[in-house]
Amino acid sequence: MMLGVIATHFLTVIIFILLLSVLVLIHEFGHFFVAKRLGIKVEEFGFGFPPRAFGKKIGETIYSINYLPFGGFVKLYGEDEAGAGRITLPGKTKSADTNLNKAFFSRPTWQKALVVVAGVIMNYLLAVVIFSYLAQAQGIATEGNSIIVAQVEKNSPAQDAGIKIGDKIIKVNDQNMANISQLISFTKSHEGQEISVTIQRNNTLQVINLTPRTKVGKNQGAMGVALSPDVKIIKYSGLSAIKKGISQTFELVSLTLTGLKVAIAQALHLQFPQGVAGPFGIVRLTGVAQQYGPFAVLTLAGALSLTLAIFNIFPIPALDGGRLFFILLDGVLYLVFRKKLSSKIEGYINPIAFAILIGLILLISYHDIVSWASGQPLLPQ
C-alpha cells in the first residue's frame, strides 16, 4: 500500500516536471524563433537550467541539455540579465560591425518588443491548440434544453405525482424552462397552486399535475426534487474545433482576470488570496488531474499555459511584461527627447522585483504546504 502511494506521488511529480518543462520550453522557443527570424544572434538555447550536461554548437548557437529539468532558456547576444545588454566592441572592424548588427540592444524598438512578447504568444497559441484538440477528441459539455430530475424526496409533491429520477422536465404550464433557476423561480411563485409539468420519460412526453408545497424545510424545494442540467457532450471537427478552442481560451482569460481581481482585493484587505497556487499547489492539481486521465492533464496544461502567458505579460519588472515596458519607454524617450533610457535603471529595479517575486513564491509555497498537510481543499468551495 505504502509503495503504491509513493509510486503515485512520484508519477505526479514527474508529470508536473514534464508539464512545466514543456510550457517554459514552448515559451522560450517563441523568443528563440522570432530572434532567429529577425537575424538576432542566439548564443544558447537550453533545455533545463545549468549546470550544463551536454551542449552542441550548430551555426552560431549552442543547443544544450542541462541538469535542472525545469523548462529552458534563451541567451541572446547583446542582452544582459536586466534585458538591456551592452557590448564592448574590440574595434571598428567589419566583423565587429556585423556582431553589432546581430545584437539585441541595437535593434529597433518594434523588433525588441516582438522578441519579448513572442514567448507569451506561444503560450497563448499552445492553449488554443490544446483546447481545440480537446474539443475534437473529448468534446465539450453543453447544457441541453431540458432539466433532469436527479433526486425525488419522499412524501414530496413530486413523488406523490409520480415524477421519477431521470425524468426530463420540458415545460411547466406550457412554458419552456430554459434553466434550473427559471424553474425554481416559477415553482416558488406558484406555491399552493396546481401546475402542469410536461416531462419526457423513455422518449415519451407526459403531463403530470402537482401542487408545489408552501411549507418548505431547509435545503428543500417546493416540488421536492433535486435538479441537474441536461448536459450533452458535443464533439467538434476541423475549423469548428479551432473556433471552439479559441472561444474557450478567451473565456478562460476572462475567468483568470476576474479571479486575479478578486485575489488582489483580498490581498489589499490582508487576506491570503483564495485560489492562488504555487509550485506545490500545482503539483496537487496535477495529482487530481492525473486521477481523471490524460484529457484532464491536457486541460490543466492548457490552463497553466494560459496563466503563464497572462502573468508574464503584466508590466512587472523581471518578467516579460516588465521588459516590454522598459523597451517601449526607451523607444518613447528616444522618439521624443532623443535620449536612451539608462540600462542602470532597469538593472537596479529588476533584481529588487525578482527578489520580491521569489519571496511571494516562497510565501505561497508555504501556504500550499500547510494546506496540503491539513487536507484543505485545493480551490475555494
Higher-confidence residue of 50 and 345: namely 50
- pLDDT of 310 > 60? The answer is yes
266 pLDDT higher than 80: no
Delimit the CATH 2.30.42.10 region(s) of the chain.
140-234
Q: Rounded mean pLDDT of 226-241?
A: 86
Active site residue 28: yes
Question: Of the residues 28, 44, 79, 346, which is catalytic?
Answer: 28
User: What confidence score (pLDDT) does residue 275 get?
Assistant: 66
Query: Of the candidates 233, 238, 239, which has an alpha carbon nearest to the alpha carbon of residue 295?
Result: 233
Which of 86-100, 121-135, 233-247 has the least mean pLDDT? 86-100
Out of 15-29, 93-107, 132-146, the most confident range is: 15-29
Q: pTM of the full predicted structure?
A: 0.75
Across the chain, mean pLDDT equals 83
Residue 35: predicted pLDDT: 96
Per-residue pLDDT, averaged over 337-344, amounts to: 78
- pLDDT reading at 365 higher than 90: no
What was the pLDDT predicted at 93? Answer: 45
Residue 92 has what pLDDT? 46
pLDDT, one tens digit per residue, over 27-56 is: 999 999 999 999 999 999 998 888 899 999
Band of the pLDDT at 295, cuts 50, 70, 90? very high
pLDDT at 133: 95
The pLDDT of residue 106: 87
Domain 140-234 has CATH 3.40.50.300: no
Is pLDDT of 150 > 50? yes
For residue range 63-79, list pLDDT tens digits in order: 999 988 777 889 999 88
380: pLDDT strictly greater than 50: no
